[in-house]
Amino acid sequence: MITGGTSGIGEAVVRLLVAEGGRVMIVGRAEERLEAARGRLAGDEGAVALLAADVTAEDAPARVRDAALAAFGRIDGLVNAAGVSATTSLDAGPLEPWHEQWELNVIAPKRLIDALAPAMIEAGGGTIVNVASSAGRRPSATDAAYAVAKRGELALTEVYAQELASRGVRVVAVAPGPTATPLWMDPGGRLDELTAAAGEPRDEVLAAVATKLPLGRLATSEEVAAAVLAALAGLADDGAVLPVDGGHVTETYP
């Protein structure tokens, strides 16, 4: 089960899993984007199922669980990769962006874990991977709502790892740094937000971001997806946070 699987990191995870012979259900909000994502995949279409659902909706977890069981008969893994880009400061202002980030990055993954973990336990075990962010490991006031929610997602990972380990379900987080996904690079994305704030040319802002990364560039979706696949394959300790940030955050969480 991959939420946010129609673009960016989520879609890259889908591509890798299908290439490895996995069967995947992609969950996304828009039917047309789901069909487009499936159309970009090589290989057997029968390995991919689609479900149009807003993961923040109250009925979404049960729909996701039931659709997966109907399509494949079992659930072995869940990747919470849905996300949106938003710049919010600590200045007084509307709280809607804070609620949106919390619902998407903490409450929706919690509900999905609650709904899908019992099916994993019944099948003999499974793995849950939360796609968090380096912003949760080193929060910044320039994207405060996002950073606070991503910090919460890391804590969510830890408490569920403790709760589910004895029942055969591993819970792991992957924490990407700046990554060249549509959320960063597309018009209206994170790069455009930084460009507007800096009042400088887009290419110069991108170069400035890259110089702050020891790797010297943004990560690719495929690099982050490889870490997710490793976590699903059991190559990460239960409760671990796998950074894929090019050395952006040097300290160990927490």
CATH of residue 6's domain is 3.40.50.720
The tens digit of pLDDT for each residue in 72-116 reads 999 999 999 998 876 777 876 789 989 999 999 999 999 999 999
DSSP 16-42: HHHHTT--EEEEES-HHHHHHHHHT--
Confidence of residue 167 (pLDDT cuts 50, 70, 90): very high
Lowest mean pLDDT among 163-172, 184-193, 196-205: 184-193
pLDDT digits (tens, 9 = 90+) for 133-156: 998 998 888 789 999 999 999 999
Residue 225 lies in a domain: no
Range of the domain at 209: 178-218
Strands of the sheet with 77-80, listed across from one edge: 48-52, 24-28, 2-3, 77-80, 126-131, 169-176, 241-244
Cβ 64 vs Cβ 27: under 8 Å: yes
Indicate the Cα dihedral angle 45, 126, 249, 3, nearest 10°: 40
Provide the percentage of residues in the chain whose pLDDT is more than 90: 73
Instruction: Specify the pLDDT at position 44.
Output: 66
The answer on 213 and 128 residing in a single domain is: no
Contact assessment for residue 77 and residue 23, using Cβ atoms and an 8 Å cutoff:
no
78 and 193 fall within a common domain: no
Same domain membership, residue 164 and residue 183: no
User: Does residue 253 carry a catalytic annotation?
Assistant: no
Please, what is the Cα angle at 206 between 203 and 212, to 5 degrees?
145
Domain count, the chain: 2
Residues 12 and 125 in one domain: yes
Residues 91 and 80 in one domain: yes
Are both 185 and 236 inside the same structural domain?
A: no
For residue 154, tell me if it sits in a domain.
Answer: yes
Asked if residue 249 belongs to a domain, the reply is: no
Nearest CA among 173, 254, 185, 169 for reference residue 219 = 185
Look at residue 47 and tell me if it is in a domain: yes
Within-domain flag for 248: no
Per the document, the length of the chain is 254
How many whole angstroms from its chain centre is CA 220?
14
Catalytic position from the list 77, 135, 146, 153: 146
Q: Kindly state whether residue 254 falls inside one of the protein's structural domains.
A: no
Q: Is residue 74 part of a domain?
A: yes
Cα 6 to Cα 28, 34, 63, 194, distances in angstroms: 6, 6, 18, 24
CB 236 within 8 A of CB 131: no
The pLDDT tens digits for 223-239 are 999 999 999 999 999 99
Q: Are residues 168 and 192 in the same domain?
A: no
